[in-house]
Amino acid sequence: STRLVALGSATILSVTGVVVIAAGPASASGGRATPGAAGLGDRLYPLLGNGGYDVQNYDLSLTYPQKDPAQQVSGDVTITAVATQNLSRFDLDFGGDAVGAVTVNGKPARFTRSGDELIITPKRALPSHRKFTVRVSGFKATPIEADADSPAGFVRTPDGTIVAGQPDETHNLYPSNDHPRDKATYTIRITNPVGWTGTANGVQVSSREKSGQVVSVYRENHPMASELIQVAVGDFITYDRGKAGGVPVRDVVPRRLAGELLPKAADEMNEIPWMQGKVGKYPFENYGTLVIDAVLGFALETQTLSLFDTWWFSLPSYVLDPVAAHELAHQWFGDSVAPWEWSDVWQNEGHATWYEYEYALETGNLENYSGYTNLTDLYKSIYARGDQLRAKYGPSAQPIKADSIWDVFNPNVYDGGAIVLFALQQKVGDAKFRQIERAWVSKYKDKSASTGDFIRLASTVSGQNLTSFLTDWLYSAKTPPMPGHPDWTV
Ligand code: ARG
Ligand code: ZN
């Protein structure tokens, strides 16, 4: 099919994916070409992401030459983006070992590195609104050993390597616009020795053997935040569970631990239809569980394939299953609807915690949470710590600092975010609250959305102006009164 797309002043002729740009001088779009900003100005991570362009697709190839979890990997990435200003130069985020070469629109481009910024100067300025491609080839990255001090990153385990990118580690593996505001589709091509397995987000497109190596291609067709990438390569096996609630489910676990781990992951088959009953259709093409033998101290909602460490799998099912439901809930809240900036992460964690508690209650496991038998009592206990949590970590939508990931992924974002939702439910009633939840994941599906977007949507759906109510709950230093529970004290 051939279609003409008008993008600002530029006209693009697209014939089955081949894009021919009717090129003109940079001045055609008006204004001088200037450098794109080194960061998106995120309050917590100012240099994360970059200004001046919007990525549409990553075509990422990674090569793991040996069966060695500690090895350096090499890669090439072709990024398709649209300029959002006349660009004289622009940055990618990259913290890996080395960069081989860079081309822009097929022509060699100069590059330098400064900290985690890869600064690229194309031969010709890039006109605003036009599509361009940047290819970074021969980049190299080495995995780190995960421990309590550095639990995230391009991580090595006894069985192979994985990615725990959230919030600012993904660019240690490959050059990217590493901020959840700039979601893009992905093709991920993994080359590894025969006998090892390479798995990534989304659907496997192909897998071929070629002179002792396997080349597997994965496609994630739903726009994905870079922090949610997963590339697991090692002595893993993939186990197909068939469908749950219409969703194909596959798990990835270390081969030597498969017999022990796979039965424990099976509750996901119940969690998927349960979650669909709460908020509607699962947002992606598949789901599954990835277990690694390393200590992370958290589980992570990598898109379509949630990551857990073996520590979670050493705990009883009444602990593991609600946490697994939490990671599943993130596929809607955090992944399909990504945060606009990192201060909005209460949207991810507040909602995931909400459904975790609800799942525990409805499967008879809530008592594990300090002995509570109903959610009202549980939220009352969270409410009682309200001012203390705000003082220590900042309001839910405004974490004080980001020296460690635990400053951002703090208790006032998890429990504090969940109790904002409880307050909202008390204020508008359960029926309207459930409508807000469904409207949120449907309106902002495949997008990034802000706290302001949530407040506006809640107001529209409930038919009442909730601006000052939710602003107090999300930004105030003091815990507001709880609607319907005037006797609750902080
Ligand atoms: N988002 C994860 C969860 O609560 C864990 C986050 C903490 N760790 C991190 N590297 N961001 O499910
Ligand atoms: Zn979470």
**Measured from the CA of 169, which atom of ligand 1 is nearest?**
10
Which residues are 61's β-sheet partners? Answer: 76, 189
Mutate to test the pocket of ligand 1, among 298, 342, 354 (most ligand atoms within 8 A of CB): 298
Q: In whole angstroms, give the CA distance from residue 107 to residue 105.
A: 6
Which H/E stretch holds residue 381? helix 375-384
CA-to-CA distance for 294 and 147, rounded, in angstroms?
Answer: 8
* d(C-alpha 460, C-alpha 471), whole Å: 15
Q: Is pLDDT above 80 for 58?
A: yes
Distance CA 272, CA 56 (A): 29
Q: Whose CA is nearest to atom 8 of ligand 1?
A: 298
**Token pair listed for 309:** 């460490």
Query: 41: which DSSP letter?
Result: -
- State residue 340's pLDDT score: 98
Given a contact cutoff of 8 angstroms between Cβ atoms, the answer to whether 252 and 231 are in contact is no
What is d(CA 224, CA 228) in angstroms, rounded to the nearest whole number? 7
Q: What does the pLDDT look like over 67-92, one tens digit per residue?
A: 999 999 999 999 999 999 999 999 99
User: What is d(CA 144, CA 4) in angstroms, rounded to the nearest whole number?
Assistant: 46
Q: Is the CB of 356 under 6 A from ligand 1?
A: no
Q: Is the pLDDT of residue 168 over 90?
A: yes
Q: Within 280-316, where are the H helices?
A: 310-313
The top-scoring range by mean pLDDT among 8-12, 29-33, 155-159 is 155-159
Q: Which residue has the tokens 């100067």?
A: 121
Res 162 pLDDT > 70: yes
Query: Is the distance from CB of 120 to CB of 113 less than 8 angstroms?
Result: no
pLDDT at residue 20, rounded to an integer: 38
Q: pLDDT value at position 209?
A: 97
Instruction: Give the torsion sign (CA, 143, 147, 153, 159).
Output: positive
- The verdict on the CB of residue 301 being under 6 Å from ligand 1 is yes
- Is the distance from the beta carbon of residue 163 to the nearest atom of ligand 1 less than 6 Å? no
Residue with tokens 């609630």: 245
SS3 390: helix
Pairing mode, strands 197-200 and 18-21: unpaired
Ligand 1: which of 162, 163, 166 to mutate, most ligand atoms within 8 Å of CB? 166
pLDDT band at 4 (very low <50, low <70, confident <90, very high): very low
| Type of residue at 251 | D
Query: What pLDDT shows up at residue 13?
Result: 35
- 25 or 37: whose pLDDT is higher? 37
Q: Where are the beta strands (DSSP E) in 261-381?
A: 289-292, 306-309, 337-339
Strands, E assignment, 182-283: 184-193, 197-200, 203-210, 213-224, 231-234, 236-244, 247-254
Alpha-carbon torsion angle 215, 220, 221, 224, nearest 10: -140
On whether the CB atoms of residues 167 and 45 are closer than 8 A, the answer is yes
Tens-digit pLDDT profile for residues 271-322: 999 999 999 999 999 999 999 999 898 999 999 999 999 999 999 999 999 9
Contact 152 CB / ligand 1 (< 6 Å) = yes
Q: Whole-angstrom Cα distance, residue 108 to residue 114?
A: 20
pLDDT of residue 21: 41
Q: What is the rounded average pLDDT of the residues 420-445?
A: 98
Q: Confirm if 399 and 343 have CB atoms less than 8 A apart.
A: yes
Contact between 137 and 96 under an 8 Å Cβ cutoff? The reply is no
**298 CB less than 6 Å from ligand 1?**
yes
Tokens of 258: 């498969």
Strands of 337-483, DSSP E:
337-339, 447-449
Per residue in 190-228, pLDDT (tens digit) is 999 999 999 999 999 999 999 999 999 999 999 999 999
Tokens of 221: 């067709």
CA 428/CA 415 separation, integer angstroms: 20
pLDDT at 15: 37
Kindly state the average pLDDT of the residues 156-169. 98
Atom of ligand 1 nearest to the CA of 330: 12
Phi, psi of 126 (to 5 degrees): -100, 120
CB neighbourhood size of 189 (10 A): 20
**pTM confidence score:** 0.94
Three state DSSP letters for 97-121: CECCEEEECCEECEEEEECCEEEEE
The number of beta carbons lying within 10 Å of the beta carbon of residue 429 is 13
Do the Cβ atoms of 359 and 306 come closer than 8 Å?
no
- Quick one: which of 141, 89, 94 has its CA closest to 113? 94
Whole-number mean pLDDT of the chain?
94
**138-162 burial by CB neighbour count: b if 16+ within 10 A, else e?**
ebebebbebeeeebbbbbbbebbbb
Contact criterion met (CB below 8 Å) for 280 and 441: yes
